[in-house]
Structure 1
Amino acid sequence: MTAGQPLLAGLDVGTTHTKAGVYRADGMPVAQRQAITPPDAEAIRDTALRLLAECVAAAGAPPLALGVASMAETGTFVAADGAPVGELLHWRDRRAHRQADQLCEAVGREAFFAATGLHPSAKLPLARWIWLRQHEPDLLRSGYCWANTADLVVAALTGTLATGPTLAARTGAFDITAKAYSPGLLDLAGLRPDQMPPVAVDRVAGHVTSSAAARTGLPAGTPVVVAGHDHLAAAWAAGVRAVGQVADSMGTAEAVITPVAAPPPPSAQPTGTSVGPFVDGRSYCLISGLSSSGGLVDWLLDRVAPGTEPDRHRWFSDLVDPSDGPPTGITVQPYLQGRASPEPDPHRTLSFHGIRPEHTLADIGRAVLEGLCMQVRWMLESQMRISGRRPDTVTVFGGPTANPTWMWIKAQVSPVPIVVLPGQQSAALGAAQLAGQAIGVEDVPPTGQPLARDPGSAPEWETTYRSQFLPLVRAADVDTPDSKEQA
Structure 2
Amino acid sequence: MARAVGRPEDQLDTMMRDLVIGIDASTTAVKAIAFARDGSPVCEKRATYPLSKPAPGYFEQDPEDWWTALSTATRELAAAVGPHRIAALAIGHQRETFALLDEEGRALRPAILWIDERSRPQVAALSARVGRDRLRQISGKPPDPTPALFAIEWLRQNEPDRLAAAFAVADVHAFLSWRLTGERVSSLSSADPLGLVDLERGVWSDELVSLVGLRPDQLPRIAQPGTVVGELTAEAAAQTGLDAGLPLVAGGGDGQLAGLGAGALDEGSAYLALGTSIVSGMVSDRYCTSDAYRTLSSPTGVGFMAETVIRSGMTLVDWAARLVRGNADPETLAELATLATAVPPGSEGIMVVPYWAGMMNPDWDDAARGIIVGLMLSHRPEHLFRAVMEGIAFEQSLSTAALEESIGRRAERFVVSGGGTRSPLLMAIMAAALERPLVTSAVPEAVALGSGILAAVASGWHPDIATAMAEMIAPSTRTTRPDPSLSAIYRGRIPVYRELFPANRLALHRLKAV
Letter in 1 for 2:77: C
Partner Cα distance (1:332, 1:7) in 2: 47
One of 366, 370, 383 as aligned partner of 1:363: 383
- Aligned equivalent of 2:215, options 192, 197, 220: 192
Q: How many angstroms apart in 2 are the aligned matches of 1:372 and 1:205? A: 40
Query: Which residue does the alignment assign to 2:102?
Result: 79
Change (3 A) 1:421 1:479: same
Residue 459 of structure 1 pairs with residue 488 of structure 2: yes
CA contact (8 A) 1:323 1:404 kept: no
CA distance in 2, matches of 1:15, 1:314: 27
**Partner Cα distance (2:356, 2:46) in 1:** 26
Q: Output aligned runs, 1:229-308, within 5 Å.
A: 229-264=253-288, 268-271=289-292, 273-300=293-320, 303=323, 306=326
Q: C-alpha separation between the residues in 2 aligned to 1:314 and 1:25?
A: 38
Question: What amino acid maps onto 2:25 in structure 1?
Answer: V
| SS across alignment from 1:85 | coil
Match in the other structure for 1:349: 369
Q: Which residue of 1 is the match for residue 34 of structure 2?
A: 22
Asked whether the 8 Å contact 2:34–2:77 carries over to 1, the reply is: yes
SS at match of 2:144: coil
Mapping of residues 205-224 of structure 1, within 5 Å: 205-224=229-248
Alignment check: 8 A CA contact 2:442 2:475 kept: no
Distance of 2:74 and 2:383 partners within structure 1: 42
- What CA deviation, in whole Å up to 9, does each residue of 1:174-208 have, x standing for no partner? 10122211222112221111111111226322222
Cα offset for 1:51?
2.0
Q: 1:91: Cα distance to partner?
A: 1.5
Q: Does 1:204 align with 2:207?
A: no
Residue 43 (structure 1) aligned to one of 65, 71, 76 = 65
TM-score, with structure 2 as normaliser:
0.85
Q: Which has the higher helix share?
A: 2
Q: Is contact 1:239–1:446 with CA below 8 Å preserved after alignment?
A: no
Counterpart AA for 1:198: R
CA offsets 1:155-175 (integer angstroms, 9 cap, x no match):
222222211111211112110
Give the whole-Å Cα distance in 2 for the aligned partners of 1:33 and 1:383: 37
Alpha-carbon separation, structure 1, partners of 2:75 and 2:315: 29
In the alignment, residue 451 of structure 2 is paired with which amino acid?
A: A
Please list every run of 5 or more consecutive structure 2 residues that lacks an aligned counterpart in the other structure.
1-12, 52-60, 463-467, 509-514
**Paired-residue identity, %:** 28
Choose 329-338 or 132-141, whichever is displaced more.
329-338
Quick one: distance in 1 between partners of 2:79 and 2:34? 10
Q: Residues 439-478 of structure 1: matches in 2 within 5 Å? A: 439-442=459-462, 443=468, 444=471, 445-448=473-476, 450-467=479-496, 469-475=497-503, 477=505
**Aligned CA-pair RMSD:** 2.5
Give the TM-score normalised by structure 1.
0.90
Letter in structure 2 aligned against 1:453: P
Pairwise mapping of residues 124-163 of structure 1 onto structure 2 (< 5 A)?
Answer: 124-163=147-186
SS of residue in 2 equivalent to 1:95: coil
Can you list the C-alpha shifts for 1:426-449, whole angstroms capped at 9, x where unaligned? Answer: 211111111212232233244335
Which residue among 11, 21, 24 is the counterpart of 2:23? 11
Please tell me the residue identity of whatever aligns with 1:22: A
* C-alpha distance in structure 2 between counterparts of 1:299 and 1:157, whole Å: 40
Matching residue's letter, 1:206: G
- Match for residue 32 of structure 1? 44
Specify every segment of 5 or more residues in structure 1 that has no aligned partner in the other structure, as ranges.
Answer: 481-487
| Paired residue secondary structure (1:332) | strand
Task: Measure the CA separation in 2 of the matches of 1:144 and 1:292.
Answer: 37
1:321 aligns to 2:342 (yes or no): no
Secondary structure at 1:77's aligned position in 2?
A: strand
Asked whether the 8 Å contact 2:23–2:33 carries over to 1, the reply is: yes
- Paired residues, what number? 471
SS at match of 2:185: coil
CA distance 1:250–1:476, change in 2 (3 Å):
same
* Pairwise CA distance, 1:324: 4.3
Note if contact 1:322-1:405 (Cα within 8 Å) is conserved in structure 2.
Answer: no
- Describe the superposition over 1:285-309 as per-residue Cα deviations: whole angstroms up to 9, x where unpaired: 11111223133334445555656x8
Inter-CA distance 414–50: structure 2 relative to 1 (3 Å threshold) = same
